[in-house]
Structure 1
Amino acid sequence: MDAQQNNALTCALAEVPGPLPASGVIHIVIPHTSRFTVVGNHLAQHPGLSSTAVGIAVRIQSLPQGADVGIKALAARFPEGETRIAAALRELEAHGYLRRTRNRLPNGRVVTRTVFCNQPTALLRPRTAAPQPPPAPLVPAPAPTPASPEPHAPAALAAPEAPGPAPVPEASDRPSAAPEPRPPVAPTPVMAPPPASPPYVPLATAPKPPPRPLPRPRELTPELDRAAAALLSDLRRHAPQFVLSESDVRHLVPGVAAWLEREAHPDTIRHALTDDPPQPLRQPAKLLRHRLSALLPPPLPGAPDLAPVRRAPAVPLQTCDGCERAFRSPAPGHCRDCRAEGARTAA
């Protein structure tokens, strides 16, 4: 009996909307409702991280707070060994995703504290304060005035009496008492709006080194000047994008003359200057200046420089006439020990 084939992907593929690509991966996206972790493309498609480092970063990001992410704990759950896992953790540290520090607890025990950031580039930007509601306008409180008996309202403006409980006696009918002063109302301070966050400024990069000076020959003879100008003007026949102005040709002539002075063939110079240019080529004169400076060949060595190195002849071996030991000397005789012994005997 044949093995049962799982056709679930085939059925799901038939429900993918739109035309399917002829090659490459086809995604069947089913939304997650539980047990999922959001991973940014900056990590999943990081050009500088190995696949082991990306997988370990996703594993660490999916674990809860306080989980053990040491090398031995990760090696127990991955088929990779401790060496590869340690190298992957160092990669994550180098790119800012991971930070490990050693802290000493109050009981004297030293532990490793691991901090993982799912988006390290966001830490380089200044954080903006949360927007706050605008403050309520300040309404000045009425100034306290000394109490005075309220004048009686005219009878025409008095409201008709309704049946009910006995009316409250007015202030003029009450026994005289000292008026209670009102406590002063403190004005509500107006809160200034939070300062606007400064614009994001990228980190300062290292200063670029100054460009190399254009090489010059020891002596710009009329023959070198004419040959260099002709070679630069003829570049557009071989590479149409290298169209130079007369001022560019005059500026680059010393560099080509330095190549010709070092006995470089014109075809070699033309190939070095026009091979594999960037697309599109916007400033051909600057590219030629860079290549004339960066690719300048060294002068050809002379005949004495190419002569083989002669080694000094080795000192021949001699046999000592006294003890018959071998020693190196240009002439036969006695070895060092025998000469020293003879000197002591003579003394």
Structure 2
Amino acid sequence: MDTGNPSAPSRTQSRIAGKNHPHAGGLIHDNVRHTSRFTVIGNHLAQHPELSGLAIGLAVYIQSLPAGARVDIRTLAARFPEGTTRIAAALRELETHGYLRRTRERTGNGRIVTRTVSCNQPGHARGAHTQHPRSTPRPNKTTPKPLPPVPTPSYPSPTLIRQATDLLADLHRQDRRLLLSERDAAHLAPGVAAWLEREVTP
């Protein structure tokens, strides 16, 4: 007669909670190692006890961008749904805690521009590891080369221009090489609006 395995536990034996399932009810990580297109973020930022979730998210996004990318309030508001007021407040949080430094400087041709420095470890001295744009233009006294003309819409309503501007601002999400400067986007927006006015899809 088959007596079975005398050492096998009974099927009805209850499991001890927390022993057989140490993660029961808690977080389980399903991680895959990144080999490309990733950004290293310190836990001091990801788990910051005083920063809002929006501020942490913006800091992560900004640190993931290439040097030279635009991170002004208007550009960020075109990328995220929170709006300029909340984004401005979140950027001030990051400044307060040392993750951003913003200064206004005058260029050689007299324009006032905002320089933004993203700090991945606040409190560390600025040094050789600071990333600078590869093609930062040096101030000069020559006037910028005029941009080529673009079509204009018959009825350039603010809503249509805004839609065109938002479309241009999102291009880099389709292809990172299509990151436009604010000047280029403002110049091209009427041309895009003219196409949208003709019921061409984005």
Q: Alpha-carbon deviation of 1:104?
A: 0.3
Q: Alpha-carbon deviation of 1:51?
A: 0.2
In structure 2, the partner of 1:104 is 106
Q: What is the TM-score of this pair, normalised by structure 2?
A: 0.51
In structure 2, the partner of 1:69 is 71
Q: Alpha-carbon deviation of 1:107?
A: 0.5
In structure 2, the partner of 1:26 is 28
Does the 8 A contact of 1:53 with 1:88 survive in 2?
A: yes
In structure 1, the partner of 2:94 is 92
Could you list the per-position Cα deviations for residues 146-195 of structure 1 after superposition, in whole angstroms to 9, with x for gaps in the alignment?
A: xxxxxxxxxxxxxxxxxxxxxxxxxxxxxxxxxxxxxxxxxxxxxxxxxx
In structure 2, the partner of 1:56 is 58
Alpha-carbon distance in 1 for matches of 2:120, 2:32: 24
Could you list the per-position Cα deviations for residues 286-338 of structure 1 after superposition, in whole angstroms to 9, with x for gaps in the alignment?
A: xxxxxxxxxxxxxxxxxxxxxxxxxxxxxxxxxxxxxxxxxxxxxxxxxxxxx
Could you list the per-position Cα deviations for residues 223-245 of structure 1 after superposition, in whole angstroms to 9, with x for gaps in the alignment?
A: xxxxxxxxxxxxxxxxxxxxxxx
Q: Alpha-carbon deviation of 1:23?
A: 1.0
Which has the higher Rg, Structure 1 or Structure 2? 1
Alpha-carbon distance in 1 for matches of 2:36, 2:21: 30
Give secondary structure in 1 for the equivalent of 2:115: strand
Give secondary structure in 2 for the equivalent of 1:21: coil
Q: Alpha-carbon deviation of 1:24?
A: 1.5
Q: Alpha-carbon deviation of 1:19?
A: 4.8
Give secondary structure in 2 for the equivalent of 1:103: strand
Q: Which residue, 35, 42, 45 being the options, matches 1:43?
A: 45
Alpha-carbon distance in 2 for matches of 1:116, 1:106: 24
Q: Alpha-carbon deviation of 1:121?
A: 3.0
Could you list the per-position Cα deviations for residues 189-237 of structure 1 after superposition, in whole angstroms to 9, with x for gaps in the alignment?
A: xxxxxxxxxxxxxxxxxxxxxxxxxxxxxxxxxxxxxxxxxxxxxxxxx
Which has the bigger relative contact order, CA under 8 A and spacing at least 6? Answer: 2
Q: Which amino acid aligns with 1:103?
A: E
Q: What is the TM-score of this pair, normalised by structure 1?
A: 0.30
Give secondary structure in 2 for the equivalent of 1:114: strand
Runs of 5+ unmatched residues, structure 1? 1-17, 128-347
CA-based RMSD of the aligned residues comes to 1.9
Does the 8 A contact of 1:20 with 1:26 survive in 2?
A: no
Q: Alpha-carbon deviation of 1:47?
A: 0.4
Give secondary structure in 2 for the equivalent of 1:122: coil
Alpha-carbon distance in 1 for matches of 2:41, 2:114: 25
Give aligned-pair identity as a percent. Answer: 69
**Does 2:130 match 1:123?**
no
Does the 8 A contact of 1:105 with 1:111 survive in 2?
A: yes
Alpha-carbon distance in 2 for matches of 1:69, 1:57: 10
Aligned residues: 108
Q: Which amino acid aligns with 1:58?
A: V
In structure 2, the partner of 1:201 is none
